[in-house]
Amino acid sequence: MISRLNIRAAHHQRAFIGKRLRDLRKGRGLSQGDLGKVLGIPQSTLSEIELGKTSLAAEQLIQVLKAFNVPVSHFDQSPGETSGTIQKALAGHGASHLVDDHNLLPSENLVRVDVAVREALVAGESARELAALAPVIIGHVGQINFHRLYAQFKDYNLETRYGWLLDNILEAIKSTLENKPPRKQALVLAKAASVLRDHRNRVFPNGVPTGSLHEDYLGTPILSPKTRAEIDRNRSQVSREWNILTTIPIEDFVRAIQEAHVPQAG
């Protein structure tokens, strides 16, 4: 019985990894032949991996992580935080414009604001949640250990997402301040901008890294080469600099700051 359970569990794990790999490949508009060349395996072998019939070798998995710029946890089948629990946590941390589903129990894992920020950015699936990170971070700018947060994203090989987020929030604050908000609101935003700008200059002293940025994507999945080309054409300057393929504009971060009433944050 134990042997059969182990075999069944192994099969489910292979199927899960295969589906995740297939979603990543299709999201980048790659054929099985294209990805097979990157991994140094025939198209037929990749097909079997995606179908869960065989497994990725360790060196192939490392190549996949580097090629798609995802952490190893992306292929972990253990239950993680759902979009609903992340949204509930962000709402509780100051993104008051997000709908709080009272049918969901709060996640103990997301009680700390830095953990909620990390999980939302690592998931990278919801444009609304990503933009909501602006009011959350601004409202807790004095409580978050930003250097530890950066170190975690660097370990995940996702520091480009982190830099992208910092620059979007800084640009959103700048845009909001240009509209001459009331003094109390301006002070809150200016303080956050000062802290975030100082931190950005410390972790990215030479500005946006050049020559080594892996292409990454956030928000809406990229389902075809045509969609990819359209997103590439229309993405913001910040997204272009950080080599992030996304439809999320800076205006979404500005709107999140306004809707969450950030100036009332403590």
Per-residue pLDDT of 162-208, as tens digits, reads 999 999 999 999 999 999 998 998 999 999 999 999 999 999 998 88
Residue among 159, 157, 221, 158 nearest 25 (CA): 221
pLDDT band of 9, cuts 50, 70, 90: low
The domains found in the chain, sorted by start residue, are 2-75 (1.10.260.40), 85-264 (no CATH)
Give the residue carrying structure tokens 């002293």.
Answer: 205
Residue 105: its H or E element? none
The pLDDT, as a whole number, for residue 266 is 45
pLDDT at 15 over 50: yes
- pTM (2 decimals)? 0.70
Angle at 144 between CA 263 and CA 134, to 5 degrees: 45
Instruction: Decide which of 210 and 89 is more confident.
Output: 89
pLDDT digits 0-9 by tens, 229-256? 888 899 999 999 999 989 999 999 999 9
